[in-house]
Structure 1
Amino acid sequence: MTAPTTATDVNQPSLEHAPKAGRRLSWPVLLLVIAGALALTSIVRLITGADGITNVSQMSTALQLAVPIGLAGLGGLWAERAGVVNIGLEGMMILGTWFGAWAGFQWGPWTGVLVGLIGGAIGGLLHAIVTVTFNVNHIVSGVAINILALGATRYLAPLAFVGHQGGSAKQSPPVESLGHFTVPGLSDALRELNDKGWFFVSDIAGLLGGLVTNVSWLTLIAVALVPATWWILWRTPFGLRLRSCGENPIAAESLGVNVYKYKYLAVIISGALAGLGGVFLSIVANPFYLEGQVSGRGFIGLAAMIFGNWMPGGLAIGAGLFGYTDSLNLRGGSANVHALLLLGALLLLIGAIYLVIRKKYVHAVITLVVGALVFAWYAGTNEVPNQVVAATPYVITLVVLALSAQRLRMPRANGMPYRKGQGK
């Protein structure tokens, strides 16, 4: 006699068929990998003479470009850990840029930060109502919010900004700066060390110098949100309940967790974080709102979150990687990207050797051939076209996601519809 199928069997993926997570790297191993990558980059810098790939200014720009991507990724992390896919991060960032600049030029930048947070949270609330309460497909809802946010800001901008000095139908008046800080003494010492061009040591100095030179206060808040998110979600009862809603909401409900409440809170926080990323763009990166300035960063933030395997630390590394490649557009782009072709060829060679050790010979040969082609591109040219430089962040996004896809494990109930009491 066959046992009856329960609601849990029907609506939730079984542990048998759950995707297996890849082995997590311990902190010592992760730091060793980062040090190895930095040493390899230093070798490439010495060979190519492209000192700009690790100088203080490059790293400072990379940090500034990584912050909005990281905040969008954190927003996606909060929502998806509660089981709600948030494709609407782009739209929530757009709302943050507009509301932040609108309030900022009238009442000051910190008021703009607060109002931008609220603007993004409103987008999150709308997404929660549509997906959690009405069980609309999460992707459809997110796309609709992106379109709605773009249309709403285009409608509101002429009404709010035209007639003010510096304002237009597509741009807000300038917003006062939040201010920057530089660690005195340490910043100058690291810059001097970076300028010496020594192997590895100067590259570390450039990386650290970018973290302590002309840093916005909002950057400091954004960086602090990464460990804060980890602590809240993995070290508090609140975080355990929230994550249980993304893994098995029926089991969470049976233990007394109000699944609707936690999903709502998670998606609203998600929208607020994405809105904060938008505020960064319209107050820190640029002192004004400009139509189109989000420019796909919400989607890249989502990619950074996936690359990080739905973990804050991995997300931060992904955001840093994408921010760094984006910074190549602004500082010596063609020469730096050309130097990175050599770095890519060396990484592919190392990858081929690793695959041979793992006895994956076909994959190793393919990797080696691709590496040889990249090296031939590097050796046969002196620079890369500007179009390639502009496309580099997006190409890196696709390549990194493709290479990391095998080790990913999203929350098991992510994107699945849930109704209260369905497990009874």
Structure 2
Amino acid sequence: MNPSVRSLAEVVSCLSGYDPDAVPVADAQRIIADFITPIDCIEQLALRSALGRVLARDIISPIDVPSHDNSAMDGYALRSADLGDAAVTLAVAGTAYAGRAHAGSVAPGQCVRIMTGAVMPPECDTVIPQEFTLHATQLHITVPAGAVRSGDNRRFRGEDLRIGQAALCKGRILRPADLGLLASLGIAEVPVQRRLRVAFFSTGDELRSIGQPLDEGCVYDSNRYTLHGMLTRLGCDLIDMGVVKDDPDSLEAALRHACENADAIITSGGVSVGAADYTRDIMARLGDVSFWKIGMRPGRPMAFGQISSNGQSAFLFGLPGNPVAVMVTFYFFARQALLHMMGADASAPPLMRARSTAAIRKKPGRTEYQRGILSTDSDGCQQVRITGAQGSGILRSMVEANCMVVLHDAQGSVAAGDLVDVMLFDGLT
């Protein structure tokens, strides 16, 4: 990957009042967005293998869809000029099936029995559903007055897509419906961005991996598993580097290895005020890295930048060590940046409004992310309640939650019944 065109110092110079010890959430998100550059590598994939991948070029329709005027109903194709203010009886001239058009012509006073998707006879412009007809036989039907209007139930050639029109645009994350659309155009292969390679590891002498004995004062490393899950849902190729001990040589070796093999690196732990000085020194020595205290809770300490080793570079996201803080900073900072690196045209997770069932204490001047449970009240309105204790180390609060209550920087305490912004976990890529 090519290094960023601008340094972090140049990016942050565009912000007034920038203070790395008091960075608002919105400013941190803007800095990251302005500094990140997408990868530039395209591969051609068979349609069945393209689900969840990022489209690398616009797909232009090679055909009209549908390729002919056709019926939207099972019924009878007729000439609207034959309709009047009274019921009219029409002779049935034949039948049109999907994939097998009516071969003859349709004279005035005639109609054609037609199936859904069948080609409209050129003389006809309207379809009456069969259930709207009267006295229908193989030879005649009666159309009641006012039962159908001119042009009803007729699908026009190219009304879905015109030849030469963009069917799907570059940057789209391909969904099941997209694969169906591409198949309807006869497209068997699509150009997609290669998968983003992300290396991740946890730091801390107290951390143990699953399967290792849990010594006194030690804890099992949960962060790598939540990161693995979140990165997998994004569709990244993963390099799990395990737990890195708190010593300079191990940390530098891990960062260099990650840098030489990945597009992005995510670490958890080692960036807070209490972390050893060498952690920050090594990260800064290897590249262009800023260390922030973000105006948020949970997840105040964070490092971001780009590091290099042996001619290779990777973007670095140094997340806090507490389990909930890792997830919050990933969702609100790293996720969007990684999607941008993937070339995806993806907006930030949408927020919805819900009424808080109880008061929530908050001081203006920082953004808070409270774990919540969204539900529907007896009137069918959306309501949300906090899961309970909101400590950044209480991972159970994330397990019980189905959403995040977002309390913005300038916002103060919330009273019961107040509307608050909510981000749903369900559907997050």
Q: Same fold (TM over 0.5)?
A: no
Q: Sort the TM-score into its range (normalised by shorter chain).
A: under 0.3
**TM-score, normalization by structure 2:** 0.23
Larger radius of gyration: 2
TM-score by length of 1: 0.23
Q: Which has the higher strand share?
A: 2
Structure with the bigger RCO (C-alpha within 8 Å, sep 6+) is 1
